[in-house]
Chains A and B, each alone.
Chain A
Amino acid sequence: MGEIIQEEKHEKGGKRRPKKHSTSIDMTPMVDLMCLLITFFMLTTAFSKPKVMEITMPEKTEDTAKPKDAPKVAADRTVNVLITGEDELYYYIGLANPNEPPLPTMMKTNYGPDGLRKFLLERNANVFKQVTELKEKVIKGELVVADSTLNRMIREIKKSDKKSPIVLIKADEKAKYKHIVDVIDEMAICNIAQYAVVDIAPIEIKMLESVQQ
């Protein structure tokens, strides 16, 4: 390019300045296209991958003629959570046996942090404290273990405690799916070792009815 300019200079006597060529390209179409593409990708991207909550249900007995005995659990460890419609949540401790009055008293609670969670945390204080301490150690770097080892240690803690509550989750026909998920979620938050989703018993439906009146 320099050469060309020199030639021009010779021709025109060196007085006039060389004609300036614009070196910039018009970028507007490219920017437009990019804007469009970015918008497209932003809208079609699935950012949060869905999470899952794993639950294991108790195995069903095929033989209905000879029903298995209900698993024998210490009555004072058992917490029954009853879920019913319109965001109503009840719990009672122990077993409700129609042949052995008196029936346990029903307590009303809610899904908030002051409701079921507070109650469960109090009952499960020992396990919860140990698990939280262990997790804190890992976060602070005092204890370096793999995730699988940590999970195993948490399981050990849960297993070793013989006083932690056993939660039975029961829902009647008015309950919504989100209520069940909320309650199962509380189990995870409170580090409850043993819980199960089971069918509601007729006596419990009656108990619910009497409380709701």
Chain B
Amino acid sequence: MVDLFSLLLTFFMLTTSFRPQEATVIDSPFSVSEKQAPDKDLITLIIDSTNRIFFNMDNGPDSSTKYRIDLLKQMGERYSIKFSDKELDKFSKLNSYGMPVKDIKTWLTTDDPKVKEELQQGIPMDTVDNELAMWVRYARLVNPRAEVAIKGDGNADYKVVKQVMDLLQENKVNKFNLVTNLMKEEAKLED
């Protein structure tokens, strides 16, 4: 038994890649696509079942690049919010988020998980001040190689997804990925 356990333990330790903590639960739709999602250089736009929009971007291919820090700095300048080095550092270690830019400082400084949860209202995307477009634009400035993926919940409204797609196209992103789960389907031609 001990032998088996050590074997299993070694297996899990070697093969493990930690599941990232997401701000919301997403139930992706199924497809037959077997293409793997790139794990680096990826901008992810998450749309949950209540049509909130979240944004995520990775730090880049290796530990020397800190794209998230650059991104937040630029967004801070755009909306005249000053972020301290500590806040920037904390931001670079986090994952997806969905809140207006003005709330990010509170989100980074607070330790109360309840407050953090309440802040996740979704990134505003109205015509007056399209913050999501800004995030996408600066993210692509910071990391020009980044691909864009849309991770939508199956029950999200198409209207919202369409808005997001239109927004991407306005920013000259015509090719993007839709995140799905794999489900094999058989198709046969009837004689």
Q: Which residues of A contact B (CB under 8 A)?
A: 27, 30-31, 34-35, 37-38, 41-42, 44-46, 48-60, 83, 113, 117-118, 121, 125, 128-129, 132, 171, 173, 175-182, 184-185, 188-190, 197
Contacts and interface: CB of A to CB of B under 8 A. Distances in A.
Nearest to B152: A177
- Across chains A and B, which 10 residue pairs bring their CB atoms closest together, nearest first? A178-B154, A41-B12, A52-B177, A46-B19, A178-B29, A175-B158, A181-B29, A53-B33, A185-B31, A34-B5
A128 B159 CA distance: 32
A190 B32 CA distance: 11
B1 interface: yes
A199 B112 CA distance: 44
A121 B187 CA distance: 8
16 contacts: A38-B9, A45-B12, A45-B16, A45-B18, A50-B179, A51-B35, A56-B174, A56-B175, A57-B175, A59-B169, A113-B187, A176-B155, A180-B158, A189-B32, A190-B187, A197-B165
A176 B189 contact: no
A21 to B, nearest CB: 21
Contact of A45 (B5, B17, B182, B185): B17
Interface of B: 1-2, 5-6, 8-9, 12-13, 15-20, 28-37, 39, 47, 149, 151-159, 161-162, 165, 169-170, 174-182, 185, 187, 189-190
Contacts of B177: 52-55
A114 to B, nearest CB: 10
Contact of B185 (A51, A83, A176, A189): A189
A48 B158 CA distance: 26
Given A34-B6, A45-B17, A45-B18, 8 more contacts: A31-B1, A52-B177, A55-B177, A173-B159, A177-B154, A178-B154, A181-B30, A181-B178
B180 A51 contact: yes
A37 B2 CA distance: 13
Interface-centre pick from A56, A181, A185 (highest chain B CB count, 10 A): A181
A30 B13 CA distance: 17
B166 to A, nearest CB: 8
A60 B12 contact: no
Contacts of A176: 154-158
Nearest to A189: B187
Nearest to B36: A49
Nearest to A181: B29
B131 to A, nearest CB: 21
A83 B185 CA distance: 21
Given A34-B2, A45-B19, A177-B156, A51 B34 contact: yes
A76 to B, nearest CB: 21
Contact of B30 (A60, A179, A185): A185
A46 B16 CA distance: 7
Given A44-B16, A45-B16, A51-B181, A179 B158 contact: yes
Contact of A188 (B8, B32, B149, B181): B32
A60 B162 CA distance: 14
A44 B157 contact: no
Nearest to A56: B175
Contacts of A51: 31, 33-37, 179-182
B57 to A, nearest CB: 16
Given A45-B19, A49-B36, A188 B159 contact: no
B174 A177 contact: no
